[in-house]
Chain A
Amino acid sequence: GEDVEQSLFLSVREGDSSVINCTYTDSSSTYLYWYKQEPGAGLQLLTYIFSNMDMKQDQRLTVLLNKKDKHLSLRIADTQTGDSAIYFCAETKGSNSGYALNFGKGTSLLVTP
């Protein structure tokens, strides 16, 4: 199947903003998600956006959605060392797959002091 694309690695300094980008494949996806995975742990839902929205803000997190270009981004303001993790973008997998998710390979975010 087609891939959800993300850059593999991002490094930022503590206090700066981080922007993680994603290109998804299915224009019919109802929801688009961002999950966070810390080392040795499962995936934790960070935030999601409904496909009829173009922006969602949740405290330090801002999600932007460009449906025309199938582009999703996650901005983390005032990035902290505790934000270091792998971030996964995910789309719902087509109309016959219920709410199954198609994930990108993840972006490793490293926050340096």
Chain B
Amino acid sequence: DAGVIQSPRHEVTEMGQEVTLRCKPISGHDYLFWYRQTMMRGLELLIYFNNNVPIDDSGMPEDRFSAKMPNASFSTLKIQPSEPRDSAVYFCASSTESDTQYFGPGTRLTVL
């Protein structure tokens, strides 16, 4: 199994630009999670999906952030417009209902 796949691995963009992060969960996993990691706040849950449906988006910072899961094998996290304070490592993770979460390698986002 290839594990959770995230792209891109690194993204550098300028303030105000739109950023799209992508995730392919492990096949057969019906839960997908987006986390953000910063030095100050550690790992924070942004949103998670069950069977492609958003269940809890209370961690999404503000309206500039949106996430979609159009099918069981793909999810996106979009930031529009991006700001320097969005700079972080964004992780995607997937699991089955009764199993532990498996994390992708992360996308390191730098907003200048």
Chain B positions within 8 Å of A100 at CB level: 33, 45, 48, 56
Is B42 a contact of A42 with CB atoms below 8 Å? no
CB A107 to nearest CB in B, in angstroms, measures 11
Alpha-carbon distance between A106 and B35 when the two chains are bound, in angstroms:
15
CB A44 to nearest CB in B, in angstroms, measures 7
Chain B positions within 8 Å of A96 at CB level: 56
Give the bracket for the number of chain B residues in contact with chain A.
20 to 34
Chain A positions within 8 Å of B48 at CB level: 97-98, 100
Q: Does B104 reach chain A (CB closer than 8 Å)?
A: yes
Is B55 a contact of A45 with CB atoms below 8 Å? no
Q: A96-B56, A103-B42 are in contact. Are A48 and B100 (CB under 8 A)?
A: yes
CB A82 to nearest CB in B, in angstroms, measures 19
Is A103 a contact of B101 with CB atoms below 8 Å? no
Interface residue ranges, B against A (CB under 8 Å) = 4, 31, 33, 35, 42-43, 45, 48, 50, 55-56, 91, 93, 95, 97, 100-106
Alpha-carbon distance between A16 and B108 when the two chains are bound, in angstroms:
34
Alpha-carbon distance between A102 and B43 when the two chains are bound, in angstroms:
8
Is A103 a contact of B43 with CB atoms below 8 Å? yes
Is A42 a contact of B103 with CB atoms below 8 Å? yes
Is B56 a contact of A42 with CB atoms below 8 Å? no
Q: Which of A35, A93, A97, A101 has the most CB of B within 10 A?
A: A101
Closest residue of B by beta carbon distance from A105: B42
Chain A positions within 8 Å of B104 at CB level: 42
